[in-house]
Amino acid sequence: MALSNKEVSKYFKLLTGLLEVNGESDFRTKSYANAAFQLGRLSEQVMTVDEAVLEKLPGVGKGIAAKIIELRETGNIAQLDALLQQTPPGIVDMLHIKGLGGKKVRDIWTQLGIETVGELLYACYENRLSKLKGFGEKTQAAVIQSIEYYQNAIGKFHYATVAAYCDDLLAQLIQLSGNQRIQFVGDLRRTNNVIERMEMIAPITANILPHVQAIPEFIIESATDELIVGKTAHDLQFAIYLVEDADYTHQLFVKTGSEAHVDMLIAAGADVHATTEADIYTSAGLPYVSPEMRETFSEVDTKSIFMQSQEAVQSPATALITDADIRGVVHNHSTWSDGKNTIAEMAAACMEKGYQYLVMSDHSKSAFYAGGLTEAQIIAQHKEIEALNATFTDFHIFKSIECDILNDGSLDYADDVLSSFDLVITSVHQNLKMDIEKATERLLKAIAHPSTRILGHMTGRLILSRPGYPVHHKKIIDACAEYKVVIEINANPYRLDIDYTWIPYAMEKGVLISINPDAHSVDGINDIHWGVVSARKGGLRRAMTLNAKSLEEFRVWLRR
Protein backbone atom coordinates (compact mmCIF):
# COMPACT_ATOMS: atom_id res chain seq x y z
CA MET A 1 0.00 0.00 0.00
CA ALA A 2 1.74 3.14 -1.26
CA LEU A 3 1.92 6.00 1.20
CA SER A 4 -0.35 8.94 0.47
CA ASN A 5 1.02 12.48 0.26
CA LYS A 6 -0.40 13.22 3.72
CA GLU A 7 1.43 10.21 5.14
CA VAL A 8 4.71 11.25 3.48
CA SER A 9 4.13 14.75 4.85
CA LYS A 10 3.94 13.26 8.35
CA TYR A 11 7.43 11.77 7.94
CA PHE A 12 8.84 15.20 7.22
CA LYS A 13 6.83 16.84 9.96
CA LEU A 14 8.31 14.34 12.43
CA LEU A 15 11.78 14.90 10.99
CA THR A 16 11.34 18.66 11.48
CA GLY A 17 10.22 18.19 15.07
CA LEU A 18 13.09 15.87 15.94
CA LEU A 19 15.64 18.25 14.47
CA GLU A 20 14.19 21.07 16.59
CA VAL A 21 14.12 18.86 19.69
CA ASN A 22 17.77 18.05 19.18
CA GLY A 23 18.76 21.70 18.76
CA GLU A 24 19.22 21.90 15.00
CA SER A 25 19.41 25.39 13.46
CA ASP A 26 16.32 27.12 12.12
CA PHE A 27 17.84 27.27 8.64
CA ARG A 28 17.78 23.49 8.25
CA THR A 29 14.50 22.84 10.00
CA LYS A 30 12.58 25.42 7.95
CA SER A 31 13.24 23.57 4.68
CA TYR A 32 11.82 20.35 6.14
CA ALA A 33 8.88 22.18 7.69
CA ASN A 34 8.08 23.76 4.33
CA ALA A 35 8.34 20.38 2.63
CA ALA A 36 5.94 18.83 5.14
CA PHE A 37 3.45 21.62 4.49
CA GLN A 38 3.70 21.52 0.69
CA LEU A 39 3.64 17.72 0.38
CA GLY A 40 0.22 17.59 2.03
CA ARG A 41 -1.13 20.01 -0.59
CA LEU A 42 0.27 18.48 -3.78
CA SER A 43 -2.07 16.71 -6.20
CA GLU A 44 0.76 14.61 -7.71
CA GLN A 45 1.34 11.33 -5.85
CA VAL A 46 4.92 11.86 -4.70
CA MET A 47 5.56 8.17 -4.01
CA THR A 48 4.98 7.29 -7.67
CA VAL A 49 6.33 10.18 -9.79
CA ASP A 50 9.79 10.18 -11.38
CA GLU A 51 12.65 11.73 -9.42
CA ALA A 52 13.15 14.44 -12.04
CA VAL A 53 9.51 15.51 -11.71
CA LEU A 54 9.70 15.20 -7.95
CA GLU A 55 12.61 17.66 -7.68
CA LYS A 56 10.58 20.37 -9.43
CA LEU A 57 7.51 20.14 -7.19
CA PRO A 58 6.87 23.06 -4.78
CA GLY A 59 8.75 22.71 -1.51
CA VAL A 60 10.70 19.64 -2.65
CA GLY A 61 13.98 20.21 -4.46
CA LYS A 62 16.86 17.73 -4.76
CA GLY A 63 17.51 17.15 -1.06
CA ILE A 64 13.91 16.44 -0.13
CA ALA A 65 13.36 14.43 -3.33
CA ALA A 66 16.30 12.18 -2.41
CA LYS A 67 14.72 11.45 0.96
CA ILE A 68 11.35 10.68 -0.65
CA ILE A 69 13.09 8.27 -3.05
CA GLU A 70 14.86 6.71 -0.06
CA LEU A 71 11.51 6.30 1.70
CA ARG A 72 9.99 4.78 -1.44
CA GLU A 73 12.80 2.27 -1.97
CA THR A 74 13.63 1.31 1.62
CA GLY A 75 10.55 2.21 3.63
CA ASN A 76 12.69 4.44 5.85
CA ILE A 77 14.65 7.69 5.98
CA ALA A 78 18.08 7.06 7.51
CA GLN A 79 18.36 10.53 9.06
CA LEU A 80 14.95 10.14 10.68
CA ASP A 81 15.84 6.69 12.00
CA ALA A 82 19.05 8.06 13.52
CA LEU A 83 17.17 10.87 15.27
CA LEU A 84 14.59 8.40 16.57
CA GLN A 85 17.40 6.28 18.00
CA GLN A 86 18.93 9.18 19.93
CA THR A 87 15.64 10.67 21.17
CA PRO A 88 13.70 9.13 24.10
CA PRO A 89 10.45 7.52 22.83
CA GLY A 90 8.36 9.65 25.17
CA ILE A 91 9.80 12.82 23.64
CA VAL A 92 8.79 11.54 20.19
CA ASP A 93 5.28 10.95 21.52
CA MET A 94 5.12 14.56 22.72
CA LEU A 95 5.63 15.78 19.16
CA HIS A 96 2.22 14.31 18.34
CA ILE A 97 0.50 16.50 20.95
CA LYS A 98 -1.35 19.33 19.23
CA GLY A 99 0.16 22.70 20.07
CA LEU A 100 3.61 21.37 20.96
CA GLY A 101 6.23 21.91 18.28
CA GLY A 102 9.80 20.71 18.48
CA LYS A 103 11.11 23.84 20.21
CA LYS A 104 8.53 23.69 22.99
CA VAL A 105 9.10 19.98 23.49
CA ARG A 106 12.84 20.68 23.78
CA ASP A 107 12.14 23.28 26.49
CA ILE A 108 9.94 20.80 28.38
CA TRP A 109 12.63 18.13 28.11
CA THR A 110 15.67 20.22 28.98
CA GLN A 111 14.16 22.59 31.54
CA LEU A 112 11.63 20.37 33.34
CA GLY A 113 13.33 17.01 32.80
CA ILE A 114 10.08 15.51 31.48
CA GLU A 115 10.45 12.60 29.04
CA THR A 116 6.98 11.07 28.68
CA VAL A 117 3.47 12.26 27.84
CA GLY A 118 2.24 10.90 31.16
CA GLU A 119 4.82 12.92 33.07
CA LEU A 120 3.83 16.01 31.12
CA LEU A 121 0.15 15.55 31.95
CA TYR A 122 1.01 15.13 35.62
CA ALA A 123 3.18 18.26 35.49
CA CYS A 124 0.26 20.16 33.97
CA TYR A 125 -2.04 19.04 36.76
CA GLU A 126 0.57 20.34 39.20
CA ASN A 127 0.63 23.63 37.31
CA ARG A 128 4.32 23.34 36.49
CA LEU A 129 4.07 23.82 32.75
CA SER A 130 2.39 27.20 33.15
CA LYS A 131 5.44 28.47 35.03
CA LEU A 132 7.80 27.66 32.17
CA LYS A 133 8.77 30.66 30.05
CA GLY A 134 6.69 30.89 26.86
CA PHE A 135 3.79 28.75 28.10
CA GLY A 136 1.31 30.15 30.66
CA GLU A 137 -2.00 28.90 32.04
CA LYS A 138 -3.93 28.97 28.75
CA THR A 139 -1.27 26.95 26.97
CA GLN A 140 -1.19 24.50 29.87
CA ALA A 141 -4.97 24.01 29.74
CA ALA A 142 -4.78 23.45 25.98
CA VAL A 143 -1.98 20.90 26.42
CA ILE A 144 -4.03 18.96 28.98
CA GLN A 145 -6.95 18.79 26.57
CA SER A 146 -4.71 17.79 23.65
CA ILE A 147 -2.99 15.04 25.65
CA GLU A 148 -6.30 13.55 26.75
CA TYR A 149 -7.55 13.55 23.16
CA TYR A 150 -4.28 12.11 21.86
CA GLN A 151 -4.31 9.27 24.37
CA ASN A 152 -7.83 8.31 23.28
CA ALA A 153 -6.79 8.21 19.63
CA ILE A 154 -3.79 5.87 19.87
CA GLY A 155 -4.29 2.71 17.82
CA LYS A 156 -7.11 4.16 15.73
CA PHE A 157 -7.29 4.72 11.96
CA HIS A 158 -9.50 6.78 9.64
CA TYR A 159 -11.78 4.44 7.69
CA ALA A 160 -10.75 6.11 4.44
CA THR A 161 -7.09 5.37 5.20
CA VAL A 162 -7.52 1.61 5.59
CA ALA A 163 -10.64 0.75 3.55
CA ALA A 164 -8.87 -0.13 0.28
CA TYR A 165 -6.06 -1.89 2.16
CA CYS A 166 -8.52 -4.09 4.06
CA ASP A 167 -10.56 -4.77 0.91
CA ASP A 168 -7.39 -6.01 -0.78
CA LEU A 169 -6.54 -8.37 2.10
CA LEU A 170 -10.10 -9.75 2.11
CA ALA A 171 -9.96 -10.26 -1.67
CA GLN A 172 -6.67 -12.17 -1.32
CA LEU A 173 -8.16 -14.48 1.31
CA ILE A 174 -11.23 -15.15 -0.80
CA GLN A 175 -9.09 -15.89 -3.85
CA LEU A 176 -6.67 -18.20 -2.00
CA SER A 177 -9.41 -20.10 -0.17
CA GLY A 178 -12.00 -20.07 -2.93
CA ASN A 179 -14.63 -19.31 -0.28
CA GLN A 180 -16.95 -16.34 -0.89
CA ARG A 181 -18.36 -16.43 2.65
CA ILE A 182 -15.33 -14.75 4.18
CA GLN A 183 -16.40 -11.19 4.94
CA PHE A 184 -15.94 -8.24 7.26
CA VAL A 185 -17.81 -7.79 10.52
CA GLY A 186 -17.57 -5.18 13.27
CA ASP A 187 -16.34 -1.65 12.58
CA LEU A 188 -15.39 -2.35 8.96
CA ARG A 189 -18.72 -3.82 7.93
CA ARG A 190 -20.45 -0.90 9.63
CA THR A 191 -18.05 1.48 7.78
CA ASN A 192 -17.30 3.36 11.00
CA ASN A 193 -15.47 6.68 10.72
CA VAL A 194 -12.67 5.27 12.89
CA ILE A 195 -11.35 1.70 12.72
CA GLU A 196 -9.54 0.10 15.63
CA ARG A 197 -9.47 -3.47 14.38
CA MET A 198 -10.10 -5.35 11.14
CA GLU A 199 -12.53 -8.16 11.94
CA MET A 200 -13.58 -10.94 9.59
CA ILE A 201 -15.74 -14.03 9.80
CA ALA A 202 -14.96 -17.25 7.95
CA PRO A 203 -16.48 -20.76 7.88
CA ILE A 204 -14.29 -23.37 9.55
CA THR A 205 -14.60 -25.39 6.35
CA ALA A 206 -12.63 -22.68 4.50
CA ASN A 207 -9.46 -23.89 6.29
CA ILE A 208 -8.30 -20.28 6.29
CA LEU A 209 -5.21 -20.43 8.56
CA PRO A 210 -2.68 -21.50 5.89
CA HIS A 211 -4.01 -18.79 3.57
CA VAL A 212 -3.58 -16.12 6.24
CA GLN A 213 -0.04 -17.40 6.80
CA ALA A 214 0.62 -17.14 3.05
CA ILE A 215 -0.09 -13.38 2.99
CA PRO A 216 2.96 -11.44 4.29
CA GLU A 217 0.81 -8.49 5.45
CA PHE A 218 -0.71 -10.65 8.19
CA ILE A 219 1.42 -11.06 11.32
CA ILE A 220 -0.26 -13.79 13.38
CA GLU A 221 0.06 -13.57 17.16
CA SER A 222 -2.14 -16.55 18.08
CA ALA A 223 -4.43 -19.04 16.35
CA THR A 224 -7.00 -21.50 17.70
CA ASP A 225 -9.84 -23.49 16.18
CA GLU A 226 -12.14 -20.50 16.72
CA LEU A 227 -10.02 -17.37 16.37
CA ILE A 228 -6.95 -16.00 14.58
CA VAL A 229 -5.58 -12.71 15.92
CA GLY A 230 -2.60 -10.46 15.23
CA LYS A 231 -1.75 -7.27 13.42
CA THR A 232 -0.95 -6.29 9.86
CA ALA A 233 2.33 -4.92 8.58
CA HIS A 234 0.75 -1.46 8.95
CA ASP A 235 -0.01 -2.02 12.67
CA LEU A 236 -3.75 -2.54 12.23
CA GLN A 237 -5.02 -5.15 14.69
CA PHE A 238 -7.06 -7.98 13.16
CA ALA A 239 -9.27 -10.84 14.30
CA ILE A 240 -10.69 -13.61 12.14
CA TYR A 241 -13.55 -15.60 13.70
CA LEU A 242 -13.93 -19.21 12.55
CA VAL A 243 -17.51 -20.47 12.74
CA GLU A 244 -19.54 -23.56 11.90
CA ASP A 245 -21.60 -23.33 8.72
CA ALA A 246 -24.81 -23.84 10.69
CA ASP A 247 -23.97 -20.89 12.95
CA TYR A 248 -22.66 -18.58 10.21
CA THR A 249 -25.63 -16.20 9.85
CA HIS A 250 -26.05 -15.90 13.63
CA GLN A 251 -22.39 -14.99 14.11
CA LEU A 252 -22.42 -12.63 11.10
CA PHE A 253 -25.35 -10.72 12.61
CA VAL A 254 -24.06 -10.63 16.20
CA LYS A 255 -20.52 -9.63 15.25
CA THR A 256 -21.65 -6.91 12.82
CA GLY A 257 -24.06 -4.74 14.80
CA SER A 258 -23.27 -2.61 17.81
CA GLU A 259 -24.11 -4.28 21.13
CA ALA A 260 -27.10 -1.96 21.61
CA HIS A 261 -28.47 -2.73 18.15
CA VAL A 262 -28.17 -6.49 18.61
CA ASP A 263 -29.73 -6.31 22.09
CA MET A 264 -32.61 -4.28 20.70
CA LEU A 265 -33.38 -6.97 18.10
CA ILE A 266 -33.21 -9.72 20.70
CA ALA A 267 -35.53 -7.75 22.99
CA ALA A 268 -37.94 -7.38 20.06
CA GLY A 269 -38.13 -11.17 19.81
CA ALA A 270 -35.85 -11.69 16.80
CA ASP A 271 -34.81 -15.23 15.94
CA VAL A 272 -31.05 -14.66 15.70
CA HIS A 273 -30.60 -18.20 14.36
CA ALA A 274 -32.74 -17.58 11.28
CA THR A 275 -31.49 -18.56 7.83
CA THR A 276 -30.59 -15.07 6.61
CA GLU A 277 -30.01 -11.66 8.22
CA ALA A 278 -33.18 -10.39 6.52
CA ASP A 279 -35.08 -13.24 8.18
CA ILE A 280 -33.71 -12.17 11.59
CA TYR A 281 -35.32 -8.74 11.17
CA THR A 282 -38.52 -10.19 9.73
CA SER A 283 -38.86 -12.50 12.72
CA ALA A 284 -39.01 -9.39 14.94
CA GLY A 285 -41.56 -7.71 12.66
CA LEU A 286 -38.96 -5.18 11.48
CA PRO A 287 -37.54 -4.20 8.08
CA TYR A 288 -33.99 -5.16 7.17
CA VAL A 289 -31.39 -2.63 8.33
CA SER A 290 -28.27 -2.11 6.21
CA PRO A 291 -25.05 -3.08 8.10
CA GLU A 292 -23.68 0.47 8.20
CA MET A 293 -26.79 1.63 10.09
CA ARG A 294 -26.58 -0.96 12.86
CA GLU A 295 -25.20 1.54 15.34
CA THR A 296 -25.96 3.07 18.71
CA PHE A 297 -27.39 6.54 18.15
CA SER A 298 -26.87 9.01 20.97
CA GLU A 299 -29.67 11.48 21.70
CA VAL A 300 -31.66 10.14 18.76
CA ASP A 301 -34.50 7.62 18.85
CA THR A 302 -32.92 4.49 17.40
CA LYS A 303 -36.33 3.23 16.32
CA SER A 304 -36.40 5.94 13.64
CA ILE A 305 -33.74 3.91 11.84
CA PHE A 306 -36.24 1.09 11.42
CA MET A 307 -38.85 3.53 10.16
CA GLN A 308 -36.44 4.89 7.59
CA SER A 309 -35.50 1.37 6.52
CA GLN A 310 -39.18 0.59 5.98
CA GLU A 311 -39.60 3.73 3.84
CA ALA A 312 -36.53 2.81 1.81
CA VAL A 313 -38.16 -0.51 0.92
CA GLN A 314 -41.38 1.19 -0.15
CA SER A 315 -40.01 3.82 -2.56
CA PRO A 316 -36.80 4.35 -4.58
CA ALA A 317 -36.99 8.07 -3.72
CA THR A 318 -36.51 7.22 -0.06
CA ALA A 319 -33.73 4.69 -0.64
CA LEU A 320 -30.41 5.22 1.09
CA ILE A 321 -28.19 7.67 -0.78
CA THR A 322 -25.53 6.17 -3.05
CA ASP A 323 -22.52 7.55 -4.92
CA ALA A 324 -24.46 7.27 -8.17
CA ASP A 325 -27.22 9.54 -6.83
CA ILE A 326 -24.95 12.60 -6.48
CA ARG A 327 -25.52 15.00 -9.38
CA GLY A 328 -23.56 18.08 -8.33
CA VAL A 329 -20.30 18.93 -6.57
CA VAL A 330 -20.94 21.53 -3.86
CA HIS A 331 -18.25 23.40 -1.84
CA ASN A 332 -15.00 23.58 -3.78
CA HIS A 333 -11.88 25.73 -3.75
CA SER A 334 -9.73 26.90 -6.66
CA THR A 335 -6.47 28.74 -7.21
CA TRP A 336 -8.38 31.92 -6.42
CA SER A 337 -7.92 31.01 -2.73
CA ASP A 338 -6.13 27.89 -1.46
CA GLY A 339 -7.07 25.34 -4.11
CA LYS A 340 -4.57 23.59 -6.37
CA ASN A 341 -6.57 23.74 -9.61
CA THR A 342 -8.25 26.45 -11.64
CA ILE A 343 -12.02 26.77 -11.91
CA ALA A 344 -11.84 25.51 -15.49
CA GLU A 345 -9.89 22.44 -14.37
CA MET A 346 -12.34 21.75 -11.56
CA ALA A 347 -15.26 22.05 -14.00
CA ALA A 348 -13.61 19.73 -16.54
CA ALA A 349 -13.00 17.12 -13.83
CA CYS A 350 -16.64 17.32 -12.72
CA MET A 351 -17.92 16.86 -16.27
CA GLU A 352 -15.54 13.95 -16.83
CA LYS A 353 -16.97 12.26 -13.72
CA GLY A 354 -20.53 12.77 -14.99
CA TYR A 355 -21.65 15.56 -12.65
CA GLN A 356 -24.09 18.22 -13.85
CA TYR A 357 -22.94 21.24 -11.85
CA LEU A 358 -20.11 22.68 -9.77
CA VAL A 359 -20.50 25.09 -6.85
CA MET A 360 -17.32 27.15 -6.48
CA SER A 361 -16.90 28.28 -2.88
CA ASP A 362 -13.52 29.87 -2.31
CA HIS A 363 -12.62 31.35 1.07
CA SER A 364 -13.80 34.77 2.21
CA LYS A 365 -11.51 37.67 3.05
CA SER A 366 -11.07 36.97 6.81
CA ALA A 367 -9.41 33.68 5.90
CA PHE A 368 -6.33 35.63 4.77
CA TYR A 369 -4.13 32.62 5.58
CA ALA A 370 -6.03 30.72 2.87
CA GLY A 371 -6.01 33.49 0.27
CA GLY A 372 -9.52 34.69 1.05
CA LEU A 373 -11.10 36.80 -1.70
CA THR A 374 -11.40 40.56 -1.53
CA GLU A 375 -14.48 42.28 -2.94
CA ALA A 376 -12.54 43.19 -6.09
CA GLN A 377 -11.42 39.57 -6.57
CA ILE A 378 -15.01 38.39 -6.22
CA ILE A 379 -16.07 40.58 -9.14
CA ALA A 380 -13.20 39.24 -11.24
CA GLN A 381 -13.94 35.63 -10.32
CA HIS A 382 -17.62 36.05 -11.22
CA LYS A 383 -16.64 37.32 -14.66
CA GLU A 384 -14.45 34.24 -15.15
CA ILE A 385 -17.30 31.93 -14.11
CA GLU A 386 -19.73 33.71 -16.45
CA ALA A 387 -17.29 33.33 -19.34
CA LEU A 388 -16.90 29.60 -18.62
CA ASN A 389 -20.66 29.08 -18.30
CA ALA A 390 -21.11 30.62 -21.75
CA THR A 391 -19.18 27.65 -23.18
CA PHE A 392 -21.32 24.95 -21.52
CA THR A 393 -24.64 23.45 -22.60
CA ASP A 394 -25.53 20.76 -20.06
CA PHE A 395 -23.28 21.89 -17.21
CA HIS A 396 -23.20 24.95 -14.96
CA ILE A 397 -20.84 26.57 -12.45
CA PHE A 398 -22.59 28.33 -9.58
CA LYS A 399 -21.04 31.35 -7.88
CA SER A 400 -20.58 30.71 -4.19
CA ILE A 401 -18.31 31.55 -1.29
CA GLU A 402 -17.33 29.77 1.90
CA CYS A 403 -18.01 32.78 4.06
CA ASP A 404 -16.37 32.94 7.47
CA ILE A 405 -18.70 33.25 10.43
CA LEU A 406 -17.04 35.93 12.55
CA ASN A 407 -16.77 35.81 16.35
CA ASP A 408 -20.10 37.55 16.90
CA GLY A 409 -21.94 35.43 14.33
CA SER A 410 -21.95 38.07 11.62
CA LEU A 411 -20.77 37.22 8.11
CA ASP A 412 -17.57 38.26 6.40
CA TYR A 413 -18.99 40.62 3.76
CA ALA A 414 -21.60 43.33 3.49
CA ASP A 415 -25.07 42.24 2.40
CA ASP A 416 -24.73 43.67 -1.11
CA VAL A 417 -21.61 41.55 -1.69
CA LEU A 418 -23.28 38.42 -0.30
CA SER A 419 -26.28 38.96 -2.59
CA SER A 420 -23.99 38.76 -5.63
CA PHE A 421 -23.51 35.00 -5.10
CA ASP A 422 -25.86 32.26 -6.25
CA LEU A 423 -25.57 30.78 -2.76
CA VAL A 424 -23.49 31.28 0.38
CA ILE A 425 -21.94 28.55 2.54
CA THR A 426 -21.12 29.81 6.02
CA SER A 427 -18.43 28.17 8.16
CA VAL A 428 -16.36 28.78 11.29
CA HIS A 429 -12.59 28.64 10.81
CA GLN A 430 -11.18 30.77 13.62
CA ASN A 431 -11.60 31.02 17.39
CA LEU A 432 -12.71 27.44 17.98
CA LYS A 433 -12.46 27.66 21.78
CA MET A 434 -15.79 29.26 22.68
CA ASP A 435 -17.96 27.59 25.29
CA ILE A 436 -21.06 25.74 24.13
CA GLU A 437 -23.46 28.64 24.66
CA LYS A 438 -21.35 31.21 22.79
CA ALA A 439 -20.50 28.77 20.00
CA THR A 440 -24.17 27.90 19.55
CA GLU A 441 -25.31 31.53 19.54
CA ARG A 442 -22.62 32.33 17.00
CA LEU A 443 -23.98 29.69 14.62
CA LEU A 444 -27.61 30.60 15.26
CA LYS A 445 -26.98 34.20 14.25
CA ALA A 446 -25.25 33.12 11.04
CA ILE A 447 -28.05 30.69 10.18
CA ALA A 448 -30.62 33.45 10.58
CA HIS A 449 -28.82 35.66 8.06
CA PRO A 450 -30.88 35.81 4.82
CA SER A 451 -27.85 34.98 2.65
CA THR A 452 -26.96 31.72 4.41
CA ARG A 453 -28.07 28.71 2.34
CA ILE A 454 -25.71 26.00 3.61
CA LEU A 455 -24.04 25.60 7.02
CA GLY A 456 -20.54 24.20 6.52
CA HIS A 457 -18.73 21.70 8.81
CA MET A 458 -20.87 22.44 11.87
CA THR A 459 -18.38 21.66 14.65
CA GLY A 460 -15.02 22.14 12.92
CA ARG A 461 -13.86 18.75 14.13
CA LEU A 462 -10.89 16.86 12.71
CA ILE A 463 -11.33 13.16 13.43
CA LEU A 464 -8.51 11.79 15.65
CA SER A 465 -6.94 15.26 15.80
CA ARG A 466 -9.42 17.81 17.07
CA PRO A 467 -12.79 17.13 18.75
CA GLY A 468 -14.42 20.29 17.41
CA TYR A 469 -16.16 23.02 19.34
CA PRO A 470 -19.22 22.10 21.38
CA VAL A 471 -22.66 23.13 20.10
CA HIS A 472 -26.27 22.35 20.95
CA HIS A 473 -26.97 20.20 17.91
CA LYS A 474 -30.74 20.20 18.28
CA LYS A 475 -30.89 23.99 18.53
CA ILE A 476 -28.74 24.32 15.41
CA ILE A 477 -30.80 21.79 13.44
CA ASP A 478 -34.05 23.39 14.59
CA ALA A 479 -32.79 26.77 13.40
CA CYS A 480 -31.79 25.30 10.03
CA ALA A 481 -35.32 23.92 9.72
CA GLU A 482 -36.83 27.32 10.54
CA TYR A 483 -34.67 29.29 8.08
CA LYS A 484 -34.55 26.58 5.38
CA VAL A 485 -30.76 26.24 5.67
CA VAL A 486 -29.10 23.08 4.39
CA ILE A 487 -26.56 21.29 6.60
CA GLU A 488 -23.32 20.07 5.09
CA ILE A 489 -21.72 16.71 5.59
CA ASN A 490 -18.16 17.76 4.91
CA ALA A 491 -16.98 14.66 3.06
CA ASN A 492 -13.29 15.12 3.77
CA PRO A 493 -12.55 11.86 5.64
CA TYR A 494 -10.78 13.82 8.37
CA ARG A 495 -13.94 15.86 9.02
CA LEU A 496 -17.21 13.99 8.18
CA ASP A 497 -18.98 16.84 9.91
CA ILE A 498 -21.99 16.91 10.70
CA ASP A 499 -21.69 13.58 12.48
CA TYR A 500 -23.93 10.86 11.03
CA THR A 501 -25.71 10.32 14.38
CA TRP A 502 -27.55 13.62 13.86
CA ILE A 503 -28.87 12.84 10.38
CA PRO A 504 -32.07 11.12 11.62
CA TYR A 505 -33.00 14.20 13.66
CA ALA A 506 -32.22 16.52 10.75
CA MET A 507 -34.46 14.50 8.42
CA GLU A 508 -37.19 14.39 11.02
CA LYS A 509 -37.12 18.21 11.02
CA GLY A 510 -37.14 18.38 7.22
CA VAL A 511 -33.59 19.69 6.91
CA LEU A 512 -31.80 18.84 3.68
CA ILE A 513 -28.23 17.50 3.82
CA SER A 514 -25.58 18.31 1.22
CA ILE A 515 -22.67 15.89 0.81
CA ASN A 516 -19.80 18.25 0.01
CA PRO A 517 -16.19 17.28 -0.75
CA ASP A 518 -14.67 20.64 0.33
CA ALA A 519 -12.38 19.85 -2.60
CA HIS A 520 -9.13 21.76 -2.87
CA SER A 521 -8.08 19.86 -6.00
CA VAL A 522 -9.61 17.73 -8.74
CA ASP A 523 -8.67 14.63 -6.72
CA GLY A 524 -10.49 16.05 -3.72
CA ILE A 525 -13.79 15.72 -5.59
CA ASN A 526 -13.53 11.97 -4.97
CA ASP A 527 -14.00 12.55 -1.25
CA ILE A 528 -17.72 12.68 -1.97
CA HIS A 529 -17.58 8.90 -1.62
CA TRP A 530 -16.56 9.10 2.05
CA GLY A 531 -19.35 11.56 2.69
CA VAL A 532 -21.84 9.13 1.16
CA VAL A 533 -20.46 6.32 3.34
CA SER A 534 -20.99 8.43 6.47
CA ALA A 535 -24.40 9.67 5.30
CA ARG A 536 -25.62 6.11 4.80
CA LYS A 537 -24.72 5.33 8.40
CA GLY A 538 -27.21 7.97 9.43
CA GLY A 539 -29.85 6.65 7.05
CA LEU A 540 -29.73 9.65 4.70
CA ARG A 541 -32.25 9.26 1.91
CA ARG A 542 -31.88 10.39 -1.66
CA ALA A 543 -34.89 12.71 -1.35
CA MET A 544 -33.26 14.53 1.60
CA THR A 545 -29.93 15.09 -0.16
CA LEU A 546 -29.47 18.51 -1.75
CA ASN A 547 -26.88 17.56 -4.34
CA ALA A 548 -28.82 14.50 -5.43
CA LYS A 549 -30.96 17.07 -7.24
CA SER A 550 -30.51 17.43 -10.99
CA LEU A 551 -29.25 20.72 -12.42
CA GLU A 552 -32.77 21.99 -13.03
CA GLU A 553 -33.98 20.83 -9.61
CA PHE A 554 -31.01 22.58 -8.02
CA ARG A 555 -31.93 25.80 -9.82
CA VAL A 556 -35.48 25.51 -8.51
CA TRP A 557 -34.12 25.08 -4.98
CA LEU A 558 -31.96 28.20 -5.42
CA ARG A 559 -34.98 30.28 -6.43
CA ARG A 560 -36.92 29.38 -3.28
Give one DSSP letter per residue of 316-364, joined into a string: GGGSBP-GGG--EEEEE--TTTT-SS-HHHHHHHHHHTT-SEEEEEEEB
- Structural domain boundaries, residue 351: 329-559
270 shares a domain with 201:
no
Exposure class string for 379-417: b at 16+ Cβ within 10 A, else e:
eebeebbeebeeeeeebbbbbbbbbbbbeebebbbeeeb
Whether residue 350 sits in one domain with residue 216 = no
Q: Is position 123 within any domain? A: no
Q: How many domains is the chain built from?
A: 4
Q: Which of 87, 106, 129 is the last residue of a domain?
A: 87
CA–CA dist 515, 165 (Å, integer): 24
Quick one: 244 and 275 in the same domain? no
Contacts of 513 (CB under 8 A, 6+ apart): 486, 487, 488, 489, 498, 503, 506, 507, 535, 540, 544, 545, 546
Concatenate the DSSP letters of all residues of 165-193 into one string.
HHHHHHHHHHHHH--TT-EEEHHHHTT-S
Question: Quick check: 521 and 299 in contact, CB under 8 A?
Answer: no
Asked if residue 527 lies in contact with residue 518, where contact means CB atoms within 8 angstroms, the answer is: yes
**Domain termination residue (choose one: 197, 232, 256):** 256
Per-residue pLDDT at 312 = 55
Q: Do both 228 and 241 map to the same domain? A: yes
**CB of 540 within 8 A of CB of 321?**
yes
Burial 284-297 (b: 16+ CB within 10 A, else e): bebbbbebbbbbeb
* C-alpha–C-alpha distance, residues 241 and 229, integer Å: 9
Helix (H, G, I), strand (E, B) or coil at 486: strand
Q: How far is CA 248 from CA 160, 173, 190, 427, in A?
A: 28, 18, 18, 47
Q: What does the pLDDT read at residue 301?
A: 46
What CATH number has the domain bearing residue 245? 3.30.460.10
Q: How far apart are CA 364 and CA 402, in angstroms?
A: 6
Same domain, 219 and 181: yes
Is the Cα dihedral 467, 368, 344, 402 positive or negative?
Answer: positive
Tens of pLDDT along the chain (560 residues)? 567 888 888 888 999 999 999 988 777 788 888 888 888 777 778 888 888 888 888 878 888 888 888 888 888 899 999 999 999 999 999 998 888 889 999 999 998 888 888 888 878 877 788 888 888 888 888 898 888 888 777 788 889 989 999 999 999 999 999 999 999 999 999 999 999 999 999 999 999 999 999 999 999 999 999 999 999 988 899 999 999 999 999 999 999 999 989 998 898 899 999 999 999 999 998 888 899 999 875 444 455 555 555 555 555 556 899 999 999 999 999 999 988 899 999 999 999 999 999 999 999 999 887 889 999 999 999 999 999 999 999 999 999 999 999 999 999 999 999 999 999 999 998 888 789 999 999 999 999 999 999 999 999 988 887 788 899 999 999 999 999 999 999 999 989 999 999 999 999 999 999 999 999 889 999 999 999 999 999 999 999 999 999 999 999 999 98
Helices (H), 75-213: 78-86, 89-94, 102-112, 117-125, 137-153, 159-177, 186-189, 209-213
Q: Given the DSSP bridges, would you call strands 328-332 and 237-243 parallel, antiparallel or unpaired?
A: unpaired
Residue 308: per-residue pLDDT? 57
Does 252 share its domain with 300? no
DSSP letter string, 18-68: HHHHTT--HHHHHHHHHHHHHHTT-SS-TTTS-HHHHHTSTTTHHHHHHHH
Q: Tell me: do 538 and 424 sit in the same domain.
A: yes
**Torsion angle, alpha carbons of 448, 449, 453, 459, to 10:** -60
405 in the same domain as 479: yes
**How distant is the alpha carbon of residue 540 from its chain centre?**
18
Domain CATH for 57: 1.10.150.110
Integer-rounded Cα radius of gyration of the chain: 25
pTM for this prediction: 0.83
Evaluate whether residue 303 is within a structural domain: yes
* Residue 126 belongs to a domain: no
Answer yes or no: do 358 and 249 share one domain: no
pLDDT at position 552 is: 97
Residue 138 counted as domain residue: no
DSSP secondary structure code for residue 132 in this structure: S
What pLDDT does residue 317 have?
58
Q: What is the CATH number of the domain that holds 417?
A: 3.20.20.140
